[in-house]
A and B are shown apart, each in its own frame.
Chain A
Amino acid sequence: MIAKRDQLGAQIAELLETMEIVAPVRERGRVYFRAVRSPDDIAWDYGTSVNSIKEFFLPPRQVLFCYTSGGFKPVSAVPEKPRVIFLARPCDARALNIMDKVFLGDRPDETYAALREHATIVGLACDRPDQHCFCTSVGGSPAGTEGMDAILIPTGDGSYDVKILSDKGRAIFPDVPGDDSTVPDEFVQKAEAAIRRHITVPDNIRDSFASDYWREVSETCLKCGLCSHLCPTCHCFDIVEEGDCRVRCWDYCQSDTFTRIAAGHDHRAEKFSRCRNRVYHKFDYYPENFGVVACVGCGRCARHCPVNNGIADLVNGVDAR
Chain B
Amino acid sequence: MKNLYTPRAARVKGIVPETRDVRTLRLALEDADEPFDFAPGQFLELSVPRVGEATFCIASCPGDTEHIECSVKRVGAVTEAIHMLDLESLVGIRGPYGNGFPMETLKGKDLLFVGGGIGLAPLRGLIREVLRARDDYGALTILYGARTPADMVYKDELDVWQGRDDVRTVLTVDPGGETPDWKAEVGYVPDVLRKTAPKPDAGVAVVCGPPIMIRLTLAVFDELDFDAECILTTLELKMKCGIGQCGRCNVGPLYVCKDGPVFTYAQIKEFMEDILHI
Query: A: which residues have CB within 8 A of B?
Result: 64-65, 67, 70-74, 76, 78, 102-103, 105, 107, 109-111, 114, 206, 209-210, 235-241, 243-244, 246, 248, 251, 253, 258-263, 265-270, 273, 276-277, 280-281, 284-286, 288-289
Contacts and interface: CB of A to CB of B under 8 A. Distances in A.
B1 interface: yes
A206 to B, nearest CB: 8
A64 B5 contact: yes
Kindly state the interface size class of chain B when it binds its partner: 35 or more
Contact of B4 (A107, A241, A285): A107
A44 B76 CA distance: 51
Given A70-B90, A258-B248, A259-B238, A107 B243 contact: yes
A253 B248 contact: yes
A65 B244 CA distance: 20
Given A65-B5, A241-B50, A268-B277, A262 B240 contact: no
B276 A74 contact: no
A286 B250 CA distance: 11
B238 A260 contact: yes
A109 B245 contact: yes
Given A243-B50, A258-B238, A267-B237, A72 B7 contact: yes
Nearest to A67: B49
Given A110-B2, A111-B1, A262-B54, A239 B248 contact: no
A210 B50 contact: no
Contacts, number: 126
A49 B5 CA distance: 32
A74 B52 contact: no
A62 to B, nearest CB: 9
Interface string B225-249: 0000000000001101101111111
A103 B248 CA distance: 15
Given A236-B246, A253-B248, A285-B250, A110 B7 contact: no
Given A65-B5, A285-B253, A239 B241 contact: yes
B274 interface: yes
A103 B1 contact: no
A236 B247 contact: yes
A248 B4 CA distance: 12
A131 to B, nearest CB: 29
11 contacts: A64-B3, A65-B5, A109-B4, A236-B246, A253-B248, A261-B76, A263-B75, A267-B275, A273-B277, A276-B274, A277-B250
Q: Which of A65, A76, A244, A276 has the most CB of B within 10 A?
A: A65
A259 B237 contact: yes
A71 B79 CA distance: 20
Given A107-B4, A110-B4, A277-B250, 9 more contacts: A64-B6, A67-B50, A102-B244, A110-B3, A238-B246, A258-B238, A262-B76, A262-B77, A285-B252
A277 B252 CA distance: 8
B3 A65 contact: yes
Listed from nearest, the 8 A-B pairs whose CB atoms lie closest are A262-B76, A236-B247, A285-B253, A263-B75, A76-B1, A71-B9, A262-B75, A64-B5
A315 B54 CA distance: 35
Contacts of A284: 253
